[in-house]
Chain A
Amino acid sequence: MTINLGSVGDRHSPAGRPVLEIDHLKVTFATDGGDVHAVKDVSLQVKAGEVLAIVGESGSGKTVTAKTILGLLPETATSGGAVLINGNNVISVSAAKLRQIRGRDVAMVFQEPSTALNPVFTVGWQIAEGIRAHAGGHGGKRVSGKEAKARAIEALRKVGIPDPEHRVNYYPHQFSGGQKQRVVIAAALALNPGLIVADEPTTALDVTVQAEILQLLRDLRDKYGTSIVLITHNMGVVADLADRVVVMYQGDVVEEAPARVLFAEPKQDYTRKLLAAVPHLGRNSASEGMTERAHQKAKILVEAKDLTIEYPGRLGTPAFKAVDGVSFTVSEGEVFGLVGESGSGKTTIGRAIAGLNRTTGGSLKVLGYEMLNLKERTFKPLRKDIGFVFQDPAASFNPQLTIGDCVAEPMIIHTSPSPAQARKRVAELLESVQLPASYAARYPHELSGGQRQRASLARALILNPKLLIADEPTSALDVSVQAKVLELFKEIQAEFGFAALFISHDLAVVDILSHWVGVLYKGKLVEQGIGSQIMGAPQHDYTKRLIASLPVPDPDEQARRREEHRALLGI
């Protein structure tokens, strides 16, 4: 066996020899509160042409592990063990050597493509930057501008950007989100590294775009034999792409298995719970077996007729139509699910109902009040009948107030209770969202994400509202926590009987809660109907595409769905 120092000639490993080998990795961060052991003891290997998924919830250490592979840890971290890339230990090599390894042997794809690209340079320049950085010096040839550009064009062609000769001179803002992620992948591929570390590469993207990026990553593996380390929390993505899966929990590897085996017969308790918590389209639907719309005889709480909401454009540009002629109703006791991708106008509708956005056309009646030309003074008395749950539980609580004060806020404003009354009601509410009453004395940062979202639900419900608007209430939460919050939401809705507008980008989540589902696309309501019928037999083309793009947490089923999806798109 020869000692491989990662010289240019033999950097492509022979088959069977691992491209990446992590051996008893340990990472500790120094923080104000003392040491945090982010990664305790992780060992894993990635073979050539293999996709290894590292899954885990937030705080499991998966991203820290990924960053260690490229030596990207901040100064406050100390690491032990070994991370071997083609024989080089990333943890102990010099900074100069590390620079050589990055890009040439291993490259990274980041989560947010719009921030990973520098807005003031063309994408071609940014792809060529890596090529130029590795040319010249160490006896290598300098790369001329022309050649670098040619290679950048080649990289763009590889990732499926149409007309790369022309678009190599475009700036990042001229690409869509999915295309930007393709450019980021092209930059990672520029030097043909044997290994790509992809940290949540599709989390910031819409499902339909996600499906394309996953296909691209699969092609890279199949065509060029690139190994991929995929960091994700999305089990659907894992099922779609991964060959082998490592499950992490609190800095340790809990289970490691081939993807099929892991999904079919998980061995560890934690893995089983994790898989059970993942919402699965078509299972556990709230509207299962329904044949007609429920609650139709009840009073109508929200009625939108040709609702239009425009955001004023800048000088000289026309106004942007966020919501375009949408009509729907929400009756008492009904859960209306609003699904759409980013930019579809779903959040705008929710905010307009709560009086946070102004409507500009058509009619929107909330509890009988016409929201067109809304006057805060006259709408205020109605606010006690509307609860609102925000997306990010961390940001929707005033950090300076205790949970008790925050939850009591609506009550204090509308009914001015005595402190004892308020305390009693807060305790009741916390109890019904399954939080101990003693949590009222805590500050928001002392609660976990799921607990905060429960408290947020308690705040929304403290005045017994008739209508609850929940804007992506679970998308900032881990799957296991999300499952519990959804279950709680379902129970409480049944108990309190309020009507709800449930807004989400996740079809499976919407299906679990909603009786009636509306699908928004570019500001238009393209389809609405009973949840299980929409998920099972979508009518509109967009809905079909949306449902087909959603990866399900089951490798075999997902492989079948992938074929269907391709057929649908006519590839």
Chain B
Amino acid sequence: MSATAIEPRKKSLLDRLPVSSHIRQSVGLQRTMLLIGVVLCGVFVLAAVFAPLLAPYGYSQISDDAGSFPAQAEPGGKHLLGTTVGGYDVLSRVVWGSQTALAVIVAAVVMSIFLGVFLGLVSGYFGGWLDRVLVVIADAIYAFPTLLVAIVMSIAINKGQSGFWGGILACGFAITAVFVPQYFRVIRAETIRLKAEPFVESAQVVGASSARIISRHIFSNATRTLPLIFTLNASEAILTLAGLGFLGFGIEPSSAAEWGFDLNKAMSDASSGIWWTGVFPGLAIVLTVVGLTLVGESINDLNDPRLRGRKAAGGKGSPDPAPGAQAAIEVEVRGF
């Protein structure tokens, strides 16, 4: 048996990151859908990060050196997408709104991931009364309509209205309360499955402590589905945020731009033929949600070997499968 014949192959970073590895695997329609999703999400994130540079005016700006902005001005000229009834520039509001949305997504999803994953691991691994209590609470939260829970949380935390960070955190907490049960459920189910795997038993046999088993053996294996839930939840987080804003529980227009709030204010415009105040924030919501959903659904399909499309066999120039493993088998079989 030759010792040095087969060097372990390290995968490049690009191959190991969730989304980029999926792009490489995909073919055909699945690839197109994933790429469209990635582009939409990319535009969203870029707009959020570079909002100060991209937006022609501030989110709460209603006048410049030339004087006050006209109210309900049609798209064109100084205001590419027109202005609202309050004199805000629609384009600026839409661009700044992406920043708010991103901040809320990150705050909400990060909080719910930490809490949900931790509770799921502990509850799934130890079981017993703790598990039962947590499952009942999660079920109870499930039973409420998402938006209702978010409204109640928003009122409880911040009395409904607030400034930029306060508002974002309030929205974040509200969405967290809705999402924690989802992460909790998924991670708990995975943990229960992994608990019976021989590699966890083999750790028990050598005397590993529960904390070590959870952190070293179960955690990394149970969290593989997280990129998927993350993308799907992010789109739901945007919708919840927009819903809160639309109902008037969002962030005040003077402290941040918020698509849902703008939609609410655009309601009365719609009947009087002023379309631009409603269409553009609405479009921003739709495209962002579509982008995130496309990425999430594509990852979901690509993670499942049965749903994953492949190039037909017999194509030219395709490399041999996993040379390391193949060679290892050959060495083993031939060398006996």
Using CB atoms and an 8 Å cutoff, list the residues of chain A in contact with chain B.
28-36, 57, 59, 76-78, 249, 273, 277, 354-356, 380, 383-384, 386, 388, 390-392, 395-401, 406, 409-410, 413-414, 434, 436-439, 441-443, 445-448, 450-451, 459, 478, 480-481, 483-484
Contact = CB atoms under 8 A, between A and B. Distances in A.
B208 A409 contact: yes
Contacts of A459: 202, 206
B8 interface: yes
A390 B198 contact: yes
Q: Give 6 closest A-B pairs by Cβ, nearest first.
A: A33-B321, A436-B3, A383-B207, A34-B318, A410-B206, A30-B313
B220 A400 contact: yes
Given A413-B207, A446-B324, A399 B221 contact: yes
Interface string B189-215: 000000001110111111111001000
14 contacts: A30-B310, A30-B311, A32-B321, A34-B318, A391-B198, A396-B199, A397-B202, A406-B199, A413-B212, A436-B3, A436-B4, A441-B8, A448-B325, A448-B332
A397 B310 contact: no
B208 A484 contact: no
Contacts of A442: 8, 324
A400 B221 contact: yes
Contacts of B333: 57, 249, 478, 480-481
Given A35-B315, A441-B8, 16 more contacts: A32-B308, A34-B321, A76-B310, A78-B313, A383-B205, A383-B206, A391-B198, A409-B208, A434-B1, A437-B3, A439-B8, A446-B328, A448-B329, A450-B332, A451-B328, A481-B332
B324 A29 contact: no
Contacts of A386: 205
B329 A28 contact: no
A363 B59 CA distance: 77
Contact of A36 (B9, B202, B216, B321): B321
A391 B198 CA distance: 9
A76 B314 CA distance: 11
B310 to A, nearest CB: 4
Contacts of B315: 30, 35
B65 interface: no
B25 interface: yes
Interface residues of B, number: 43
A354 B208 contact: no
Chain A at the B interface: mostly helix, strand, loop or mixed? mixed
A478 B329 CA distance: 11
Contacts, number: 132
A395 B313 contact: no
Contacts of B329: 59, 448
B264 to A, nearest CB: 47
B217 interface: yes
Nearest to B315: A35
Interface of B: 1, 3-4, 7-9, 25, 197-199, 201-209, 212, 216-217, 220-221, 308, 310-315, 318-322, 324-325, 328-329, 332-333, 336
A277 B325 contact: no
Given A356-B204, A384-B207, A33 B320 contact: yes
A34 B318 CA distance: 5
A409 B206 contact: yes
A356 to B, nearest CB: 6
A446 B205 contact: no
Given A356-B204, A390-B202, A400-B221, A32 B25 contact: yes
B310 A31 contact: yes
Contacts of A438: 3-4, 7-8
Given A35-B318, A451-B328, A414 B3 contact: no
Contacts of B318: 34-35
Contacts of B206: 383-384, 388, 409-410, 413-414, 459
Contacts of A397: 199, 202
A284 to B, nearest CB: 16
A484 B336 contact: yes
B40 to A, nearest CB: 26
A392 B208 CA distance: 20
A395 B328 contact: no
Contact of B202 (A277, A396, A436, A450): A396
Contacts of A414: 206-207
Contact of A447 (B7, B312, B328): B328
Contacts of B336: 273, 277, 480-481, 483-484
A436 B6 CA distance: 10
B95 to A, nearest CB: 40
Contacts of B208: 409, 413
B3 A355 contact: no
Contact of B198 (A384, A392, A409, A434): A392
Nearest to A465: B206
Nearest to A36: B321
A410 B216 CA distance: 13
B332 A388 contact: no
Given A36-B321, A273-B336, A445-B325, A76 B313 contact: yes
B29 to A, nearest CB: 16
Contacts of B310: 30-32, 76
Contacts of A406: 199
Nearest to B10: A441
B7 to A, nearest CB: 8
A398 B199 contact: yes
A30 B330 CA distance: 20
Residue of B312, B319, B325, B336 most packed against chain A (CB within 10 A): B336
A29 B313 contact: yes
A450 B308 CA distance: 30
A354 B198 CA distance: 13
Contacts of A57: 333
A382 to B, nearest CB: 9
Nearest to B224: A400
Given A78-B313, A392-B198, A480-B333, A33 B319 contact: yes
A28 B322 contact: no
Contacts of A76: 310, 313
Contacts of A34: 318-321
Nearest to A78: B313
A354 B205 contact: yes
Contacts of B322: 33, 446
Contact of B314 (A33, A35, A383, A450): A35
B47 to A, nearest CB: 34
Given A77-B313, A78-B313, A450-B332, A31 B207 contact: no
B207 to A, nearest CB: 4
Contacts of A391: 198
Nearest to A436: B3
A77 B199 CA distance: 33
A395 B324 contact: no
A36 B329 CA distance: 14
Contacts of B8: 438-439, 441-443, 446
Contacts of B220: 398, 400
A3 to B, nearest CB: 31
B93 to A, nearest CB: 45
B23 to A, nearest CB: 13
A358 to B, nearest CB: 13
A57 B336 CA distance: 13
Nearest to B325: A446
Contacts of B9: 446
A459 B206 CA distance: 9
A401 B219 CA distance: 12
A59 B204 CA distance: 33
B271 to A, nearest CB: 53
A401 B212 CA distance: 14
Contacts of B201: 356, 390, 396
Contacts of B7: 438
Contacts of A383: 205-207
